Amino acid sequence: MTGDPTSPQDIRLGDAARGFVGKIRRLDALQTGSGSSLSAQELEQRLVEMGFVEGARVEILHEGAIRRDPIAVRVDSATIALRRSEAMAVIVE
Amino acid sequence: MTTAPLRLALVGAPNTGKTTLFNSLTGSRQKVANYPGVTVERKSGSFVTPDGHSVTVLDLPGTYSLRGRSPDEEITRDIVLGRFPGEAVPDLVLCVADATNLRLTLRLVLELKRVGRPMMLVLNMIDIAKRRGVTIDLDRLSQELGLPIVTSVAVRKGGIDELLRRTDEFLSRADETATGNQWTAPTIGDLKAAQREADRIIAASVTLPAKPDTLTARIDAVVLHPIGGLAILALILFVMFQAVFSWAQPAMEFLSDSFSVLGQLIRDVLPEGLLQSFLQNGVISGVGSVIVFLPQIIIIFLFILLLEDFGYMARAAFLMDRIMGGAGLHGRAFIPLLSSFACAIPGIMATRVIDNRRDRLTTILIAPLMTCSARIPVYTLIISAFVPAKTLWGWVNLQGLVMFGLYAAGITSALTVSAIAKFFLWRDHAPAPFMLELPDYKLPRLRSIAIGVFTRARMFLYRAGTTILSMMVLIWFLASFPTAPAGAEGPAINYSFAAMIGHALEPLLAPIGFNWQIAVALIPGMAAREVAVAALGTVYSIEGGKEAADQIGQVLAQKWGLATALSLLVWYIFAPQCASTLAVIRRETGSAKWMVFTFVYMLALAYVASLLTFNLARALGIS
């Protein structure tokens, strides 16, 4: 893991395809600028409450039929369904 | 030792088997009500420990933290903190955790500890965890958390013995006192720190198997497939509808016949007069016409609870979220709306699965637009009287096509109203996020399901006995008073308040093609939609009997123009012609405001739609 927060390998979970396996680097709801309606802080809090914390292993298991949305993500020992717009706040590698 | 019952509160994340544990503890000694002023369900119950202490249990809404993101979660927080007016602070907090998935609950446990109430951690579903090879070092976990831990198998007989024993132990210890409350709303930094601490504790005390559970993954590979998953969902719904309409049929006919027999008995035993009419037409046929829906309600809730317990409901929401989202509806609104095709009452009751208040209200507002089974008798009567049984293009039955059109109109209008409500009512509010856990599949436990179905059925019957009964009595009164003068001609209803209202409404209803007889029939039709059919029979003085429906159809075909018939059909798609539904909306939203709103908007919609239909039909030369 590199300490550089703007590493070019940064991927947003909301952009990742089905089958993606990675590790959460950090949460960044401020720059998502996308469809999610929650305030950046609230979105980050909710993500943490669902287990999206730094270092957790994530895997995209399933995606919906329309525009491949929402997605079902395995986060360590639980499976969480969320919309891609909200998953944009999760930076993975 | 005190004689007052111990107050126990169950707290836990969703899907931890909290409700199953609650059902095991209390059995059928449960009470479901609403917290004052909010639409959140308050589930309480009681039990007696082996040592003979009585305990009351409160099943608090599931939550991932005490932050209180929704009205439900605020209630959990306020009760645990002892801030909720009218609710005493619990003596003992039981935090329920799914032993197979401790991660999210342990963070909640760490947060709850700061509240300082006496607390016990219940590791539920320990049997499943063991079977999967998850080993938990209970002593280590207990030591790390600084809390007593109990394991339980809420679904099995004897699985909660240890919990009962430990509750007795707790009662016999006098020294267990609450420490000071140190809880403050956690910041994101606190949440992350707590999650890291929880992960550390899990790493120290839990050994996960080398191979994780694959059954859930294998089922999901099929059930959540983008295309196959939707096909399976459609299949499940098809079976559910078949069940609702065909399995319930014998039971419904039995109930309906029983009420007729009971009415006949009253008619035979009592002398003709007001009391006879009141009991037969007001109470028995009125309440009977609502209670006949009990089998459908039981079957719908049986399906809903089975699917929920199995873990499928979250998947259905996942599959439908994007599709429903176009109309501003939440994925979870899907099942309640579907249930509304049988009857809006269980549909509205089922909206309790939607956490967000605005999403839930929107769903409640549009649920009555779904074509419920009580409209079918009215549709059938008018269609068979006015629409020729022609076959179009060699295979399409014209009558069936009209019926399909009425259903489609209901669905389309519901989605449109939802989109409009989203735009006008909730424009300033952000839509709720869709973020939910997909729990591992579990075999549903029949006892817990049975208790759930029983509780719903009891709520429905209670309402039929109170609100609905009083509505029926009012409608009977309007249709029976004043009584016909001696030697009067025609049916007695023509002299009643209902007829007066009908005549008074006639000028208002004339633009949409309704005569006063229709207006009169619509009044008892407020009791239940299909009662309008019988009422039309009464107004046109057709005596009952099995052939009555055919006769009514023939009479209507002579007396009404096609434009009027079409107008009435359209009226029935939209009109708030059901007092029970309105009563349920009032109850579920906790205020008369939304009931009035629903009534007014549906009435306006019905009037405008009928006006357009009637005038369009006449302009096209159909009359």
- Determine the residue among B134, B318, B320 to mutate to test chain A binding: the one whose Cβ has the most chain A Cβ atoms within 10 Å: B318
Whether residue B195 lies within 8 A of chain A, CB to CB, comes out as yes
Q: Is A83 close to B434, i.e. CB distance below 8 A?
A: yes
Q: Is the pLDDT of residue A81 over 70?
A: yes
Residues from chain A that touch B196, judged by Cβ atoms under 8 A, are 53
Q: Is B436 close to A80, i.e. CB distance below 8 A?
A: yes
pLDDT in tens, B273-323: 778 878 877 777 767 766 777 887 788 788 888 988 898 988 988 998 888
When mean pLDDT is compared across A59-63, A88-92, B457-461, the lowest value belongs to B457-461
Percentage above 90 pLDDT, chain B: 23
Phi-psi sector, B56: left (phi>0), alpha (psi -120 to 50), beta? beta
Q: What is the 3-state secondary structure (H, E, C) of A30-76?
A: CCCCCCCCCCHHHHHHHHHHCCCCCCCEEEEEEEEEECCEEEEEEEC
Residues from chain A that touch B225, judged by Cβ atoms under 8 A, are 62
Tell me, what's the pLDDT at B544?
47
Any bridge partners for residue B396, and if so which?
A: B392
Q: Is A48 close to B435, i.e. CB distance below 8 A?
A: no
Q: Is the pLDDT of residue B183 over 80?
A: yes
Residue in this structure with the two tokens 């935090």, named with its chain if needed: B95
pLDDT in tens, B496-513: 888 888 888 889 999 999
Residues 6+ apart with CB under 8 A from B105: B12, B13, B16, B95, B96, B97, B98
Q: Is the pLDDT of residue B548 over 60?
A: no
Question: A-contacting residues of B 231-290, CB under 8 Å?
Answer: none
The residue of chain A nearest to residue B188, with distances taken between CA atoms, is A45
The residue of chain B nearest to residue A43, with distances taken between CA atoms, is B433
The interaxial angle of helices B312-325 and B215-223, nearest 10 deg, is 30
pLDDT in tens, B28-78: 788 877 777 666 778 899 999 888 889 999 999 889 989 887 777 888 999
Nearest C-alpha of chain B: how many angstroms from A45?
A: 5
When mean pLDDT is compared across B218-227, B287-296, B515-524, the lowest value belongs to B287-296
Specify the higher pLDDT residue, B14 or B57.
B57
**First CA to last CA distance, chain A:** 9
> What average pLDDT does this structure show over B435-447?
87
d(CA B534, CA A71) in angstroms, rounded, equals 51
Tell me, what's the pLDDT at B58?
94
- Determine the residue among B428, B438, B440, B441 to mutate to test chain A binding: the one whose Cβ has the most chain A Cβ atoms within 10 Å: B438
Q: How many residues does chain A have?
A: 93
> What average pLDDT does this structure show over A72-89?
91
User: DSSP 3-state assignment of B559?
Assistant: helix
pTM: 0.80
d(CA B381, CA B113) in angstroms, rounded, equals 64
Residues from chain A that touch B430, judged by Cβ atoms under 8 A, are 37-38
Task: Give residue B606's pLDDT band: very low, low, confident or very high (50, 70, 90).
Answer: very high
Task: Give residue B14's pLDDT band: very low, low, confident or very high (50, 70, 90).
Answer: confident
Question: Which of A54, A79, A83 is closest, CB to CB, to B437?
Answer: A79
Tell me, what's the pLDDT at A35?
54
The residue of chain A nearest to residue B197, with distances taken between CA atoms, is A53
Reference B533, options B387, B383, B343, B369; nearest CA is B383
Task: Give residue B546's pLDDT band: very low, low, confident or very high (50, 70, 90).
Answer: very low
User: DSSP 3-state assignment of B212?
Assistant: coil
* Cα Rg, chain A, nearest whole Å: 12
Both tokens of B213, joined, read 């559970």
Any bridge partners for residue B92, and if so which?
A: B8
Any bridge partners for residue B151, and if so which?
A: B123
Q: Write the DSSP assignment of B166-180 as a string of letters.
A: HHHHHHH-S---PPP
Tell me, what's the pLDDT at B46?
92
Q: Is A61 close to B224, i.e. CB distance below 8 A?
A: yes
pLDDT in tens, B326-373: 788 888 888 788 878 777 887 888 787 777 788 889 999 999 999 887
Asked if residue B108 lies in contact with residue B65, where contact means CB atoms within 8 angstroms, the answer is: yes
Nearest C-alpha of chain A: how many angstroms from B102?
A: 8
Question: Which of A38, A48, A70 is closest, CB to CB, to B318?
Answer: A70
Specify the higher pLDDT residue, B486 or A69.
A69
Tell me, what's the pLDDT at A71?
94
Nearest C-alpha of chain A: how many angstroms from B333?
A: 16
Percentage above 70 pLDDT, chain B: 91
Q: Is the pLDDT of residue B220 over 90?
A: yes
pLDDT in tens, A1-57: 444 455 557 889 999 999 999 999 999 887 655 455 677 888 888 899 899 999 899
Nearest C-alpha of chain B: how many angstroms from A34?
A: 13
Q: Is the pLDDT of residue B141 over 90?
A: yes
Q: Write the DSSP assignment of B152-166 as a string of letters.
A: --TTSTTTTHHHHHH
d(CA B483, CA B503) in angstroms, rounded, equals 17
Asked if residue B227 lies in contact with residue A62, where contact means CB atoms within 8 angstroms, the answer is: no
When mean pLDDT is compared across B16-20, B126-130, B358-362, B537-541, the lowest value belongs to B537-541
Tell me, what's the pLDDT at B531?
73
The residue of chain A nearest to residue B212, with distances taken between CA atoms, is A77
Both tokens of A22, joined, read 């990675």
Q: Is the pLDDT of residue B2 over 70?
A: no
DSSP B225: -
Q: Is the pLDDT of residue B110 over 70?
A: yes
Give the alpha-carbon dihedral of B273, B278, B279, B283, to 10 degrees. 170
Question: Which of B188, B229, B431 is closest, CB to CB, to A37?
Answer: B431
Q: Is the pLDDT of residue A59 over 60?
A: yes
Asked if residue B558 lies in contact with residue B547, where contact means CB atoms within 8 angstroms, the answer is: no
Q: Is B433 close to A44, i.e. CB distance below 8 A?
A: no
Nearest C-alpha of chain B: how many angstroms from A46?
A: 9
Question: Which of B226, B431, B438 is closest, CB to CB, to A64?
Answer: B226
Question: Which of B64, B101, B322 is closest, CB to CB, to A49?
Answer: B64
Q: Is B318 close to A66, i.e. CB distance below 8 A?
A: no
Chain A contacts to B (CB-CB under 8 A)? 36-38, 41-51, 53-54, 61-70, 72, 76-83, 86
Tell me, what's the pLDDT at A80?
94
Q: Is the pLDDT of residue B407 over 90?
A: no
Q: Is B103 close to A51, i.e. CB distance below 8 A?
A: yes
Question: Which of B191, B212, B433 is closest, CB to CB, to A36?
Answer: B433
Nearest C-alpha of chain A: how many angstroms from B533?
A: 44
Tell me, what's the pLDDT at B232?
93
Residues from chain B that touch A86, judged by Cβ atoms under 8 A, are 433-435
Tell me, what's the pLDDT at A1?
42
d(CA B481, CA B495) in angstroms, rounded, equals 8
Tell me, what's the pLDDT at B80?
92
Tell me, what's the pLDDT at B429?
63
Tell me, what's the pLDDT at A2?
43
Positive or negative, the Cα torsion across B102, B114, B140, A47? positive
Residue pairs spanning A and B at CB distance below 8 A: 113
Question: Which of A42, A64, A78 is closest, CB to CB, to B101?
Answer: A78
Q: Is A48 close to B191, i.e. CB distance below 8 A?
A: yes
Specify the higher pLDDT residue, B80 or B487.
B80
Question: Which of B100, B220, B230 is closest, CB to CB, to A65?
Answer: B230
| Mean pLDDT for all residues in chain B | 83
Pairing between β-strand B54-59 and β-strand B149-151 as defined by DSSP bridges: unpaired
